[in-house]
Amino acid sequence: MRIFDDLALPRLCAGVDEVGRGPLAGPVVAGAVVLDARRPISGLKDSKRLTALQRARLAAEIKQQALAWALGWADVAEIDRVNILRASHLAMQRAVAALGVEPDIILVDGNLLPAFDRPAVAVVKGDTRVPEISAGAIIAKVDRDLEMIELDSCFPGYGFARNKGYPTAEHREALGRLGPCPLHRSSFAPVRDALNVTPAHESFLSRAPS
């Protein structure tokens, strides 16, 4: 279902969404996509309602058939410095800036807008209502998941390959037992608590991926 069905959308419409606001560890990643009406992609929906295989298939199709796509990242240091909301907006701004085309309008999932240099609209539940936003979320989710799987070998013991940094029971138990590693967001309460009570954290904080 397309939002604003009764309106004539500008020729180039970019959809933007982010993934990774909720995890205790890892970056926040945004995807921006301009779809090509001549090459429709079926099956676009909220990325959380897709299996990993479905997301991977759609991400490959989006990258092949969209008029433009790009990813923007904000790392853990930025999240801790400016807070997760501002870091999410920073990732969105970077994704749009990297598109290589200048969209006439930007549709953003949610009810808050980053600052852009062109018209933008916040769309509540946009990842289920706007195909461009769904596509942005899908490519962001796939790339962030792959990043966390790769980083699992650099920081073993937390289950990052399985939990992707989200606060699962497994992850929280490991955080209490091992203390935080450099991927953890020290501005998040469970990580702060682990820093205060776990003496083992110092060796993990000094270990960075090569």
Q: 83-109 pLDDT, tens per residue?
A: 999 999 999 999 999 999 999 999 999
Cα torsion angle, 91, 46, 58, 33, sign: negative
Q: Between these two residues, 11 and 64, which has the higher pLDDT value?
A: 64
- As a whole number, mean pLDDT of residues 17-45 equals 96
Model-level pTM? Answer: 0.88
Separation between Cα atoms, residue 73 and residue 94, nearest integer Å: 7
Domains plus CATH for the chain? Answer: 13-151 (3.30.420.10), 158-198 (no CATH)
pLDDT tens for each residue of 121-176: 999 999 999 999 999 999 999 999 999 999 999 999 999 999 999 999 999 999 99
Give the per-residue pLDDT at 30: 98
C-alpha dihedral, 71 to 77 to 78 to 82, nearest 10°? 150
- As a whole number, mean pLDDT of residues 16-45 equals 96
- pLDDT band at residue 11 under the 50/70/90 scheme: confident
